[in-house]
């Protein structure tokens, strides 16, 4: 049985992820590195991002005069470094807290363009059917990157499984747990590895894209699932600062938030991926 846990944080997209976003960084960070005459190359996680982009490419791009090329990456680092160095012009895989942390740690200048969808983070298990059935001392796998680990802990806190210290934010770790009545143990893994850990741990908090890739259905299989309401973790199209007004990027942003793309997301993912913009 699945419970929906509400995480009350900043309003999704925070009003900043709009098509009118303009560059405001340093002089060396601004300026377009892309060739607007060539195809728009976008780095994306395979599911659902590349699938959504492929739908746009096959059904909408031609009529919009957009030559779109999709490159798939299975990690959360390369899409941003490739966007920064100009190997690709844009990427589609991440949320605002993750991007903020990445830019800060890596000195990159990636900025959001438009928010497209939310992949609810969920708690899954092959051993129990409800979160409150976890036994004392149970081991829970969580993503090991800063933002997703904090997000996982917030999910468990929202469900009442643990209590976080006051002020625990987007860099929370197990050290920020104030109350842990079940004495849960946390196994920190690369996000992509969490689904594969399900046979080895009692439960795992898994990102939506990796859950879907592993044939899990978040809307049905998650013991606890994030609420979409007031959720800051919407995934967006992003570019290196200075490329926001590239006409190809503007076209893609419009197509990704069209009524057609929204319907595709709703029909294909059946609540496991939630469109957050209307056409």
Mean pLDDT within 213-218: 93
Could you say which DSSP state residue 186 is in? E
Residue 117 and residue 233: Cα distance in Å, rounded? 9
Mean pLDDT within 81-85: 98
Q: Which CATH superfamily groups domain 7-119+231-275?
A: Periplasmic binding protein-like II (3.40.190.10)
Residue 216 and residue 12: Cα distance in Å, rounded? 25
Burial class (CB in 10 A: 0-12, 13-18, 19+), 231: buried
More confident: 122 or 24: 122
pLDDT of residue 33: 52
More confident: 95 or 13: 95
pLDDT of residue 278: 42
Could you say which DSSP state residue 257 is in? T
**Annotated domain spans of the chain:** 7-119+231-275, 122-226
pLDDT of residue 141: 98
CB atoms within 10 A of CB 277: 20
> Do 122-226 and 7-119+231-275 have the same topology in CATH?
yes
Q: Give residue-wise pLDDT tens across range 37-58.
A: 799 999 999 999 999 999 999 9
User: Residue 46: which of 119, 114, 102, 112 has the closest Cα?
Assistant: 119
Query: Which of 65-79, 110-124, 173-187, 263-277 is least confident?
Result: 263-277
3-state secondary structure 149-173: HHHHHHHHHHCCCCEECCCCCCCCC
Pick the CATH number of 122-226 from 3.40.190.10, 3.40.50.300, 3.40.50.150, 3.40.718.10: 3.40.190.10
Could you say which DSSP state residue 31 is in? S
pLDDT of residue 170: 86
For residue 208, pLDDT over 70 is answered with yes
Average pLDDT, the chain: 88
């Amino acid at each position: 049985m699945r419970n929906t846990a509400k995480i009350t944080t900043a309003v999704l997209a925070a009003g900043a992820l709009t098509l009118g976003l303009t560059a405001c960084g340093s002089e060396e960070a601004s300026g377009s590195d892309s060739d607007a005459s060539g195809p728009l190359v976008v780095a994306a996680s395979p599911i659902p991002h590349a699938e959504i982009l492929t739908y746009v490419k096959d059904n909408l791009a031609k009529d919009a005069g957009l030559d779109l090329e999709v490159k798939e990456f299975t990690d959360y680092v390369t899409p941003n470094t490739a966007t920064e160095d100009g190997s690709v012009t844009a990427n589609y895989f991440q949320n605002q807290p993750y991007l903020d942390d990445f830019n800060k740690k890596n000195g990159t200048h990636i900025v959001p363009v438009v928010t497209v969808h939310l992949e609810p983070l969920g708690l899954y298990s092959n051993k129990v059917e409800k979160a409150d059935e976890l036994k004392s001392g149970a081991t829970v796998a969580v993503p090991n990157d800063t933002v997703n680990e904090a997000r996982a802990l917030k999910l468990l806190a929202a469900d009442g499984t643990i209590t976080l210290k006051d002020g625990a934010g987007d860099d929370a770790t197990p050290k920020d747990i104030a109350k842990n009545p079940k004495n849960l143990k946390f196994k920190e893994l690369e996000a992509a590895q969490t689904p594969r850990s399900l046979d080895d741990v009692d439960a795992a908090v898994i990102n939506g894209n990796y859950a879907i890739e592993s044939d899990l259905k978040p809307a049905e299989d998650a013991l606890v699932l994030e609420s979409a309401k007031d959720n800051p973790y919407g995934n967006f199209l992003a570019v290196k600062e200075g490329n926001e007004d590239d006409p190809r990027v503007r076209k893609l942003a419009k197509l990704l938030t069209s009524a057609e793309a929204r319907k595709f997301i709703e029909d294909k993912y059946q609540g496991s991926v939630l469109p957050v913009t209307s056409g």
